[in-house]
Amino acid sequence: MTDVSTSTPTTPPLRISEPGPRRSLPRPRIRSAARRWSGWLFALPALAFYGFFNLRAVIQSVWYSLYDWNGIGPSTWVGLDNYVAILTDSELLEPLLHALVLILFFTVLPVCFGLVAAATMQSIQGRFAGALARTVLFLPQIIPGAAAGVAWTWMYADNGVVNQLMRLVGLGGYTRAWLGDFDWALVAVGFIGTWLSTGFCTLLLMSGVGKIGPQLYEAARLDGAGAIARFRHITVPGLKQEIGVCTTVTIISALASFDVVYLATHGGPGGATMVPGVKVYDLAFSESRLGDASALAVVLALLIVAIVLPLQRLFRED
Amino acid sequence: MAVISPSLIRTPALRRRAPGVALILIAGVYSIVPLVSMFSAALAPQGTIPGGLSWPSDPQWHNFLDAWTVANVTTLLKSSVLIVLGVVPLSVLIATMAAYAITVLRIPLGRAFYLLLLLTLTLPYEIVIVPLYQQVNQLGLLDSQLGLILPLVGLNMPFAVFWMRAHFLNAPAELTEAASLDGAGPWRALTRVHLPLATPAVTSLVLLMFLSTWNTFLLALVLVNDPDKRTMAGALQAFQSKYSTDIVLLNAGALLLMAPTILVFLLLQGQFTKALLQGATKG
């Protein structure tokens, strides 16, 4: 079954014979060095904005992270102490662990759902995913995360839709104020993330399936491959790149989440849903612990890079 | 609607299609239920506690008018539009110029500049927020729209240059040669030859930048203390903390604050979905 993809006729890549040294007329050197440097005039505004408001700020964060500083008074060099604190102080470490848990909801569930939808839709080839479906599925993607936070605060309220539905199906005994529940708040916040990214993953994976040749599925069917085998050996490998994109984008939004959590719970109850983004904000702007805030922000950035870079490699099209 | 059209019932494919259609319907309902539930709550009589998803017997449409006033929507609309008009054209213009310089003019060290931009492409806003606050403070721009616009342009650069570079890389090289043979300088070649061809790329970039600017939250929260000078998304925070107990007004106000994006999206949904899907897959 695994060799389904190779059973399709393949044409050997065209080999263009190496051309001899190109005989071209000696080109007048229109582009003098000075003229090429003058092209920088086009790039300078971008460099200025980027350097001043982005790169400089990143470097400064790294620098602050090595100090103990309240933002106003004198600062003390503490070396890597702030980083040690992140690993040893549960108040700082827990937000990072929560962010990792959120990957399950922001990334794993939406990608799985998207894959199932894409596979199910495979026979339709996106004809039904017309304007209406696209509009509705993309809606969560375009509203601000802060608005999603407000919307779901109401969904999860005592008398909100979630509890209403549970009563309807006879689970009335389990209703609660979800965002205020120590055990369930993080899961509840996680499902907001699922809501935010499912449509995006579904549409991206569906458009990817449209590009897989139908003859591949036809050949597999003739070979006697069932739906699950076709899913495993054609759909999933064929969507490798799209899966990579969904995973990357949603992992970044899970780890760097701020607006949803800030508005839905602000990290509560009692830090049960605290995420690095909200913690950085609190440390810097309520507790005046700029060194700790910067160190946590740096760790968060490194965590994102450490997860995203290998993924890029993994999902790159060979 | 198409599901029940008679021509489809006759096709044997309907049975194969049914699970897919059902899935998409479920996903669609799931997508809009939170918004519909806000809508139904927003129509309940003020001061009452609405119940989940239930159409009020006597919908109070004037709640939206009241919410418009208490949420200061007119002021916020102006502020958001001002911020978008400051950020989007400037970001797109200078990013396009930079990408043009890197790919078409092949400026010396252009590749190094591009790699420098890529370095911060995936970094979260959290890592710049503390120093940005101080920088904007030092410039005396805290609490003003300009103090939000300038950093946003800087933060947009990695993605915007990356986006336009991908476009210029695919632009035929003969174009540049033709333009330069005609004696056009680099500026004329950009505006007369390259930009007209770049319209789809530029349009998508404008939409993506509009969306991210309009939805800016963390930066608006930190750099602008006066909620009336924020983006609409940023202003949600102040509105929520003020009306957290008034569920009816809170939902009406929140809906008003997200209505403009939804409207723009509905009007341009084709371009939006294309831009969003492209935005993810480019590169």
Tens of pLDDT, residues B134-153: 999 999 999 999 999 999 99
> What does the pLDDT read at residue A96?
96
Contact A166, A134 (CB under 8 A): no
Residue B129: pLDDT above 90? Answer: yes
Structure tokens belonging to residue A186: 């993080």
Answer whether residue A22 shows pLDDT above 90.
Answer: no
The pLDDT assigned to A8 comes to 37
Nearest CA in chain B to A277: B126
Confidence of residue B5 (pLDDT cuts 50, 70, 90): very low
Instruction: Report CB contact under 8 Å: A56, B131.
Output: yes
For an interface test with B, which of A40, A54, A75, A106 has the most B Cβ atoms less than 10 Å from its Cβ? A54
For B164-185, how does the pLDDT look when each residue is reduced to its tens digit (9 = 90+)? 999 999 887 777 777 666 777 8
Q: What angle do CA B94, B95, B101 make, to 5 degrees?
A: 90
Beta carbons of A52 and B154 less than 8 Å apart:
yes
CA distance A289 to chain B (A): 11
Q: Which residue has the tokens 């708040």?
A: A185
Contact residues, chain A, for B38 at CB < 8 Å: 150-151, 154
Query: pTM for the whole thing?
Result: 0.87
Nearest CA in chain B to A305: B122
* Whether A123 and B16 lie within 8 Å, measured CB to CB: yes
CA closest to A70 among chain B residues:
B130
pLDDT at res. A318: 56
Cβ <8 Å between B32 and A136:
yes
- Whether B129 sits inside 8 A of A140 (CB atoms) is no
| pLDDT for A124 | 58
State pLDDT tens for residues A223-233. 888 888 888 88
Token output for B136: 């904007």
Q: For residues A42 and B93, give the distance between their C-alpha atoms in angstroms, rounded to a whole number.
A: 10
Q: Which residues contact B79 (CB under 8 A, 6 or more apart)?
A: B145, B228, B229, B230, B231
Give the number of other Cβ atoms within 10 Å of residue B230's Cβ: 27
User: For the segment A260-314, what is each residue's pLDDT rounded down to a tens digit?
Assistant: 999 999 998 999 999 999 999 999 999 999 999 999 999 999 999 999 999 988 8
The alpha-carbon gap from B217 to the nearest alpha carbon of chain A, in Å, equals: 6
Give the model's pLDDT for residue B16. Answer: 66
Query: How much is the pLDDT for A14?
Result: 41
Residues of A in contact with B177 (CB under 8 A): none
Tell me the per-residue pLDDT of B34-92, one tens digit each, with 9 for 90 and over.
Answer: 999 999 999 988 888 887 788 877 888 998 999 899 888 999 999 999 999 999 999 99
- Tell if the CB–CB gap between A45 and B251 is shorter than 8 Å: no
pLDDT(A140) > 80: yes
Question: CA of B228 to nearest chain A CA: how many angstroms apart?
Answer: 16
Q: Which residues of chain A are within 8 Å of residue B130 when distances are taken between CB atoms?
A: 60-61, 64, 280, 284, 290, 293-294, 297
Q: How far is CA B112 from the centre of its chain?
A: 29
Averaged pLDDT, A4-30: 43
Which residues on adjacent β-strands are paired with residue A68?
A76
Say whether A150 and B254 touch across the interface (CB within 8 A).
yes
| A206 and A129 Cβ atoms separated by less than 8 Å | yes
* B269 phi and psi angles, rounded to 5 deg: -60, -35
Pick B89 or A30 by higher pLDDT: B89
* Average pLDDT score over residue span A60-81: 90
Above 70 in pLDDT, residue A3?
A: no
pLDDT confidence tier of residue B4, bands split at 50, 70 and 90: very low
Interface contact A202-B27, CB threshold 8 A: yes
Sort out which chain A residues have CB atoms less than 8 A from B248's CB and list them: none
pLDDT given for residue A225 in this prediction: 86
CA distance B239 to B243: 6
Residue of A nearest to B217 (CA): A259
Tally Cβ neighbours within 10 Å of residue B149: 22
The predicted-structure confidence for B218-263, as pLDDT tens digits, reads as follows: 999 999 999 889 998 888 988 888 888 888 999 999 999 899 999 9
Q: Please enumerate in sequence order all residues whose Cβ is within 8 A of that of B39, keeping only pairs 6 or more positions apart, or say none.
A: B251, B255
Residue B128 to residue A146, Cβ atoms within 8 A = no
pLDDT value of residue A216: 87
Cα A232 to Cα A250: distance, rounded to the nearest angstrom: 23
> Measured between beta carbons, which residues in chain B are less than 8 angstroms from residue A252?
122, 124
> Between B23, B108, B222, which is nearest A285 by CB?
B222
Residues of B in contact with A242 (CB under 8 A): 281
- Interatomic CA distance for residues A130 and A76, integer angstroms: 60
- A145: chain B residues, CB-CB within 8 Å: 215, 217, 233
